[in-house]
Every structure is written in C-alpha cells, then in structure tokens.
Structure 1
Amino acid sequence: MEVLWMMPALLLLIPLLLCISSTFVYYFKKCWYVGYMMCLALVTIPMCIVKSGGRDVENMRVIRAVVRHVKYYLGVRYEVSGLEHLQTKGPYVIVSNHQSSLDVLGLMEILPDRCTMIAKKELMYCGTVGIICWLGGIVFINRKKTSDAKSVMVEAAKTMLDENLRLWVFPEGTRNQKGDLLPFKKGAFHLAVQAQVPIIPIVFSSYSNFYLRKEKQFNSGTIRVKILPKIDTKGMTSDDISSVLDKSFDVMLSAFKDISPYTHSNGPAKH
C-alpha cells in the first residue's frame, strides 16, 4: 500500500526535476533513449525476419524507417547539406566523425540504400539492439585483435563488390567529444583502396551546444550534417593509403570547424 501511495508523488517529482535539474534531464534522456531503442529493436526484429528471412542489408530500410522519429522525443533536429553526393552509383565507403551514441540518429537520417556499418564486436551482445544490428548486416570487428580486424576488412571489400554494398565506418575508432577529430585509423582506407571504391566523407557538427557528457547536459539542439564530395581511389595501391587518409582527415576537420558552433582545438596529428 505504501508503494502505491508513493507512486503519484514520484510521478509529480519527475516533471519537477526535469524543470530544475539539468543533471536529472541528462540521465533521464539517456536512460529513456537506451530503453526506447531496445524496445524499438524488439518490435523491429520480427519485421526484419518477415521481410528478408534473416540477416540482410535490406533490413536497414526497415530499421531506418522505425528509428527516424526518435530525434523528436530527444529535441534533436538535423540540417543536412550535400545529399546529392550520396547519389553516387555503386559501392562506396562512408567515413564520418563519431561523438556519441546519438550518432545513430544522424546515421539513420541520411543512410543511403544498401548501406550498413562496420562496428565494434561488443555491440552484438547488447540485447535486442545487438540482434537488430546483426539482422541489418552490420559487420562486426574485434578492435583488440588487429589481425582479426584486417581479415574482416578483406572479406568486407569482397562482399561490397559482390553484393553492391555501401559501408559506413567511423575511422576515429571511438567516441570523441573534444571539439576536434581524433587521429584516423587506416582500416576504412585500406577497405576503399582494396575494393577500388570511392570514399564519401560525412561530418556531424559538434554537439557541444546542447550535449555535454562530462558536464551532464542534454538539451534540445540542432546538428548540422555536411556530406562532402567523393574521394576517388581508382588506381590507388596500398602505398597511397596514407595520402588518402590525410586528404580525408583534412577536408573533414575543415568542415567540422566550419559547421560547428564551437570548437576549441586545431586538431591533432593525422596518424
């Protein structure tokens, strides 16, 4: 009985805390986001199985359609420029900066057809979200074992060409909210050069005007997304990987500074 009596008080307390405590807003939104995404995944799993019979990149269409509304509940909006660059025919590798788990919403905002991601293997064990990632054809790599990661990239290059796929890679390798770009790892560029497919850089503006992990702030805000012209790799060899990495890093860092409301770094070394 006491628990039932306390429920109305708790329900009244939540909106009060949302109004007076930015820290509570941060944790409330984060917990809601994780929980809601897991629920959406649970609903989407049977839809994907019915559509494709199992693991298939075409399931990303279903996942994209189901997830795109989540941004409204979190107060996040997107301004996208350069969408025409994603109209490139055939396979290509997308490289983008990586700031938080919110990147998933931006990815789903502009995800082209027949495109999936390369992600850390740990994601596969995240309950219903891990299952839906597997059904969407996401390529999982073990970041702790370089040899395993390289073999996965070799296989991914072959699959890209055989199945006309696009692959989305976060070349920083981990989340970064320091107002710049972390040095890029070479995997995505090895992949593009080996498959002889273009690289399309995509840049998300800094989240620092509304989302700060260390300060525990999560307000409403707008993310600017800039899709840059493709970088061709035709005729390139392994000797050209460093130069194409440098070129990608430079254009992305320049775009990041241009579209971000605030950055406090001139950027690190590239590799």
Structure 2
Amino acid sequence: MNALRSWVHLLFMGVTVVPWALVAVALSPFLASQRLYWFCVAWVRLQIWAARWMLGIRNEVIGWENLPTDTRAPAILLAKHQSTWETFALPVLMPHPLAFVFKRELLYIPFFGWALGRLDMIHIDRSKRAQAFHKVVEQGRALLARGVWVIMFPEGTRVPRGAKGQYKTGGARLAVATGVPVIPIAVTSGRCWPRRAIVKRPGTVVFSIGRPIPSVGRDPDDLMREVETWIEAEMRRLDPEAYRDAAPPDAARSATAG
C-alpha cells in the first residue's frame, strides 16, 4: 500500500508542477520577487498537504522561539539534509522567504528548474569553488539585507538516515563575512522519506531549531564545528534508533575531550 500511495503522490507532483511552473515563468516579469516566491511556495504547500493525506507524513517543529522575531532580522539557516522533504517543508514552515544555495544543474530540470531559476536563489557552479563562494557572499549579503533568510545544507548532499556527511564551512564563512548569526536545524526526514527512495513511509518528521549562534569575530571552522556538534547530538536525541550502532561524531568527541 505504501508503494501505491508513493507512486500516486509522485504522479500528483508531476501533474501539478507543469502548469504551476509555466504560470510562474509567465508571471515572473510582472510580479515582485516576494510575490513570485510565495506563489511558488503555494505549490510546495500543496505537495506537503498531499503527502499528509496520501502518504501519512506530518511535520512537528521544536524550537520556534529560537527564530528571530524582528521581521527584518537576518539569519542563515544550516540544516541537516536527509531527503527532498526538508527542501519542500522548510519554505512552508518558515515565516520568511528563503534563498537556497544549490548547484546550478537543478535549473535544467524541466518545469521545476525553470521556475526555480526565476526566484531569488543562489545557484553555483561547484567546479569553480572560489567564484562560487564569492557569488554566495555577494548575493547572500544582498538578500539578507532585504530580509530574506539564506539556507544551506552543510553536508552538501543528502545523507542516509543515521549517517553523517562531511560538514563544509561555506555557510559559516558566509555568516562570518556578513556578521549574521547561524541557526542550526536538525531534521528526521529520513524516517519517512529516505534518500533516493520511491516508496515513502507514514510518520512524523521532526524539525528541531537550535538557538542562534553569533558569528561576529568567529573562526569559520570553529563555528561550523559548533553547528555540527549541535546538529549531530540533536539527531541522536530525536532519532536514537537510527544511531544505535553509529560511532559518536568526531566533532562531538573532540568537544567532549576538550
């Protein structure tokens, strides 16, 4: 039954993205950037709603109080990345427009990528690391000044449930360059929507939002280690079953030893 429901939801996504993306592209010259953003988020919201009723996947958020309350306060979100689910859910859950940092290859996906390319996002060429980081800082600074929150996945790609990828310092370097605090987020999406899986499982995806970590005067490597330590410890608290046989993360062991 889960397989059938998963295929129906996948079909629903495919059928709805085509007209929505075409309308977004057609409207993009005439709509303000934020209005276009929320129009596209409405499609993602529809997919979250469909997943709730078709797949039995629900969201639970811990730590709402850790988000800035000032409507103009900038923030850089650094989140665990286990599946596509968090890329859908976070724009719906967050009260501010989000600018994702992603590889430019996503722009070539028919319909979805076309609409994505019309939004204020930061797409980079990973093969040109120096130029990519310069673009992240330049565009990130401008977006943060407009009240858009920048979101990055420090592990760079989706990791299996119970695993830890290599945390890259790009988000911390952006935070230090702009003086903007980072907000770590742990996500248990792998329980319900495993990486690269067609068949999804019903359940609750927990988003745990950590306290803002100041970046002014920090070393980017040290800042990212603090983010990594919090996220990985929180993942073990939220989903202990997945980490039962996993060794403690290196960063956590180092922090404990220190």
TM-score computed with the length of structure 2 as normaliser = 0.82
Which consecutive residues of structure 2, in runs of 5 or more, have no partner in the other structure? Answer: 252-258
**Are 1:29 and 2:3 an aligned pair?**
no
Aligned residue among 205, 209, 212 for 1:230: 212
- 1:118–1:140 Cα contact (<8 Å) kept: yes
**Are 1:42 and 2:25 an aligned pair?**
no
Change (3 A) 1:194 1:41: farther
Aligned residue among 29, 38, 44 for 1:67: 44
Q: Which amino acid aligns with 1:148?
A: Q
Q: Cα distance, 1:174 vs. partner?
A: 0.6
Change (3 A) 1:92 1:212: closer
Q: Over residues 201-228 of structure 1, what are the superposed CA-to-partner deviations in whole Å (9 max), with x where a residue is unaligned? A: 11112523x4445886422121111111
Q: Compare 71-80 and 242-251 and name the one that shifted more.
A: 71-80
Q: Over residues 115-165 of structure 1, what are the superposed CA-to-partner deviations in whole Å (9 max), with x where a residue is unaligned? A: 221111111111111122122312101122212321212212331344232
Q: Which amino acid aligns with 1:85?
A: N
Q: Which amino acid aligns with 1:181?
A: K
**Are 1:126 and 2:109 an aligned pair?**
yes
Q: Over residues 39-62 of structure 1, what are the superposed CA-to-partner deviations in whole Å (9 max), with x where a residue is unaligned? A: 335325525754772572443322
Number of aligned residues: 243
- 1:76–1:221 Cα contact (<8 Å) kept: yes
Find the structure with the greater CA-based Rg.
1
Q: How big is the alpha-carbon RMSD for the aligned residues of Structure 1 and Structure 2?
A: 2.7
| Secondary structure of residue in 2 paired with 1:218 | coil
Q: Which residue number corresponds to residue 224 of structure 2?
A: 245
Q: Compare 37-46 and 151-160 and name the one that shifted more.
A: 37-46
**Are 1:97 and 2:80 an aligned pair?**
yes
Q: Over residues 75-98 of structure 1, what are the superposed CA-to-partner deviations in whole Å (9 max), with x where a residue is unaligned? A: 210111112222343111000011
Separation of aligned partners in 2, 1:218 and 1:54: 35
Change (3 A) 1:181 1:156: farther
- 1:202–1:225 Cα contact (<8 Å) kept: yes
- The alignment-based identity, stated in percent, is 23
| Secondary structure of residue in 2 paired with 1:154 | helix
Separation of aligned partners in 2, 1:249 and 1:92: 17
Change (3 A) 1:241 1:106: same
Separation of aligned partners in 2, 1:38 and 1:144: 33
Q: Which amino acid aligns with 2:50?
A: V
Aligned residue among 161, 167, 184 for 1:184: 167
| Secondary structure of residue in 2 paired with 1:100 | coil
